[in-house]
Structure 1
Amino acid sequence: MKALSRDPATLAIGGLCALAAAMGIGRFVYTPILPFMTEGLNLPADEAGLIAAANFLGYLSGALAGASRFLSGSPRMWFLGGLLVSALTSAAMALTTALFAFLAIRFLSGVASAFVLVFSTTLILERLNAAGRGGLSALHFAGVGCGIAFSAILVASLAHAGTDWRGLWLASGAATFVLLVLAAFLVPGKDTSLLNPSNEATTSAVNSYETTISYLEPGLVRLILAYGLFGFGYVITATFVSTIARTTPALQPAEPFVWLTVGLFAVPSIYIWNKVSNSLGARRAFALASVIEAAGVALTVIGQAPSVFLLGAALLGGTFMGMTALGLMEGRRLASAGGPEAIRRMLAILTASFGIGQVIGPWFAGYLHNLTGSFDGASLAAAVALLVAAALAVR
């Protein structure tokens, strides 16, 4: 174990396993499983949207709780505990059919995924930076896309073999547990220091979710609004894209591949958009990604050919993780004149704005689907929101 602790690449792979489990599976596996739940339970779209919203509300709550100065202890203990809860809550989805139980379970799953993101990132980035290998953080964050791609393959393979929605949730829980074991082995218990807000790596990874800021200049306000619109704009398609494919006869051949496409294109996205940001600046890169993502969201409802639909999924996967990082980078830059406290408060507000957009999006899409019988209106509204976000970002 001591040898592993001296290998930065091994640590980054351990972080990849953690994010693949908690984010790629625990947070996002609901998307490919949802069509099977809809068929097996006759689940209305508005209830499906509420279940998704509960998970995103849990994620926001977990991010805020994870940043608390009163929540001390080993980051390794917290992120491994979060992985265990993520595995258990995924499996628990197979044990009930009650809407209230689904809401409670997915809320807890959201809290767990946030804890894994906050605390694993705290630990991994601290050790990578100390080793002078901060660039390997891209490998750590690639875990989200890897987990999405893996969950897509897992669900499609088991569904093809005749597994129902309950079996898909149980398999997801089992896969999360396996990744928990791998992460525990690859990220040893060295340097189990308390969270320290003065530490640079901890500050950037954990204290991004603190308090409020008392004064905001117009440029910051526009960025906050843009980031919230981004949360709303991406999450509708990210929640219902597999359901759209399954319920649209012309798109059904694309269903087994749509979520896999999102995941595969998400894997290198942060690395790519960091390069774009170095050339254009974070704000312009964010605006460009918003426009590209708007096109992808629109293609998932405008295009009735599987190839066009998959192109939309690819554009979504290739942008949403990069935009998440770009918005926080720009917020950090704009608030830097106020010092560390202003930066932390700014990132906290951006996270809250993004979280609110994520919570509203699935509920809005489900409600509109009940009125119109289609996700077209909600998806086009999401595309418009992304274009407005781009306009706000470049002003």
Structure 2
Amino acid sequence: MRVIWIALGLALGPAVAMGLGRFAYSILLPAMRTDLGWSYAQAGWMNTANAGGYLVGALLAPLLVGRFGAGRAFRGGLVVLVPVLAGPVCFHGDTALLLWRGLAGMAGGVVYVTGGLLAIGLAGGGTAGVRVVGLFYSGSGIGLVVAGAALPPILAVQGDGGWLTGWLVVGLLALPCAALAAIAAFRAERPMATRALPLRIGPALVRSPWMIAGYMLFGMGSIGYMTFIYAAITAGGDWTRGMTFWVLLGSASVAAPWVWSGLLGRMRSGRAFALVLAVAGAGTILPWMSDGLFAIVLSALCFGGSFFMSVSVTSLHIKRAYSPETGVAAVSAFTLAFGIGQLIGPPLNGALADHGVALAASLLVSTALILLGAMIGGAQRDPQTE
């Protein structure tokens, strides 16, 4: 039970890094786009800047872990991230916003990778291991719920100019979450030799090629969906639909480890990966099929209930297939693949929307990428731990 509580504390790291640091932007995007005169492609490039920073953070993480330990690197990332999230309040030209999004991604990448290592270290095997790792990554859902409950009413009251207040609120909400996550990291970290760890992604590419390829495609599809789905479902001006969707999305993410862990812990990693991505892909197609509330709710539950479980499945695969030493580089290899996918997804969806494709229809590209990732990643087997 103590391990569960520590994992829940660590989960507030992803709540800050992803739920607030990355995806709060999706709620604020329609107001920012209108107020700043952006095209959809420009709006997409802002999240590409975040994904680029995330890649840098993922590449730095093994070096920081080797030099300082996972716990200290995790806490350091949080210290940088919190003020960066409120940065747009002070400087909000396009260049400054790109910088803030990039810095938030970099700090978030460090938090996500190092926190994942701490969670993997806590986890046992089988069902219990899936639940512990899943609890950590489901923390992103806590951030989604908080952002979904707090930001839409602000924009409804203040109008399109309210996005500045929104970023200030994001920074304030991140502060207590980061503090609690940092405390949990003290209880989760294991002693490590203070030596730089080489970023050797080659062995991971050899041992896990199918899942890494599928994960990259999932990164492309999922980030495009998450960037623009709020704008698509609130295009008629009904912000309550967006708030309902976002809160349900986050709630499903938080509940997912308890729903999935018993099944995924017994499955081969490739099959578990394919199943989770298939459910996520089904969720992305629903808003295109119908703009009714039922379809939106079902989309939130399907996608929210599977999105972050993909990270849990890849993490459990790493625990099964790699030693603790090689696992650090493997986590970065998977994160790097996912991050490369996220560089491409948002501008692709945005460019389609700018060139006459309805925004909801442009998200079908996301569906195709996710389902292709499911088919490719499903071929992965668990090699013997080296």
TM-score of Structure 1 vs Structure 2, range by shorter chain: 0.7 to 0.9
Distance in 2 separating the partners of 1:49 and 1:301 = 20
The 3 A distance-change label for structure 1 pair 270 and 51 is same
The answer for the alignment partner of 2:13 in structure 1 is 18
From 91, 94, 108, the counterpart of 1:96: 91
Deviation digits for residues 2-28 of structure 1 (CA, Å, limit 9, x no counterpart): xxxx95455334213332222211122
Question: Does residue 258 of structure 2 align to residue 299 of structure 1?
Answer: no
The answer for the alignment partner of 1:200 in structure 2 is none
2:318 and 2:331 in contact (8 A); partners too: yes
The answer for the alignment partner of 1:152 in structure 2 is 148
Question: Does residue 201 of structure 2 align to residue 212 of structure 1?
Answer: yes
Q: Which moved more, 1:75-84 or 1:105-114?
A: 75-84
Alpha-carbon shift at residue 256 of structure 1 (Å): 1.8
The 3 A distance-change label for structure 1 pair 195 and 354 is farther
The answer for the alignment partner of 1:374 in structure 2 is 358
The answer for the alignment partner of 2:53 in structure 1 is 58
The answer for the alignment partner of 2:226 in structure 1 is 238
Deviation digits for residues 45-91 of structure 1 (CA, Å, limit 9, x no counterpart): 11110000111111121011011168512544432332232221111
Question: Does residue 338 of structure 2 align to residue 354 of structure 1?
Answer: yes
1:287 and 1:394 in contact (8 A); partners too: yes
Matches within 5 A, 1:137-176: 137-162=133-158, 164-176=162-174
1:75 and 1:195 in contact (8 A); partners too: no
Q: Which moved more, 1:184-193 or 1:237-246?
A: 184-193
Distance in 1 separating the partners of 2:191 and 2:243 = 44
The answer for the alignment partner of 1:3 in structure 2 is none
Amino acid at match of 2:179: V
Alpha-carbon shift at residue 216 of structure 1 (Å): 5.6
Deviation digits for residues 241-292 of structure 1 (CA, Å, limit 9, x no counterpart): 111112246x755112111121111112234333222343221122122222
Paired residue secondary structure (1:299): helix
Alpha-carbon shift at residue 297 of structure 1 (Å): 0.8
The 3 A distance-change label for structure 1 pair 172 and 345 is closer
From 309, 312, 315, the counterpart of 1:325: 312
2:74 and 2:182 in contact (8 A); partners too: no
- Structure 1 length-normalised TM: 0.83
Amino acid at match of 2:283: G
Amino acid at match of 2:232: I
The 3 A distance-change label for structure 1 pair 53 and 195 is farther
Paired residue secondary structure (1:372): coil
Question: Does residue 213 of structure 2 align to residue 225 of structure 1?
Answer: yes
| Percent identity of equivalent pairs | 25
Amino acid at match of 1:173: G
Distance in 1 separating the partners of 2:243 and 2:204 = 48
Question: Does residue 270 of structure 2 align to residue 272 of structure 1?
Answer: no
Deviation digits for residues 123-169 of structure 1 (CA, Å, limit 9, x no counterpart): 4654677xxx9654443333211111111111123334437000000
Distance in 1 separating the partners of 2:144 and 2:47 = 16
From 293, 298, 308, the counterpart of 2:295: 308
2:133 and 2:312 in contact (8 A); partners too: no
The answer for the alignment partner of 1:281 in structure 2 is 268
Gaps of 5+ in 1: 1-5, 198-205
- Structure 2 length-normalised TM: 0.85
Amino acid at match of 1:154: A
The answer for the alignment partner of 1:203 in structure 2 is none
Distance in 2 separating the partners of 1:65 and 1:284 = 31
Distance in 2 separating the partners of 1:92 and 1:285 = 39
How many residues matched?
Answer: 373
Paired residue secondary structure (2:308): helix
Matches within 5 A, 1:64-79: 64-68=59-63, 72-79=67-74
Distance in 2 separating the partners of 1:168 and 1:20 = 16
Distance in 1 separating the partners of 2:364 and 2:92 = 31
Aligned CA-pair RMSD: 3.1
The 3 A distance-change label for structure 1 pair 304 and 348 is same
Distance in 1 separating the partners of 2:373 and 2:299 = 19
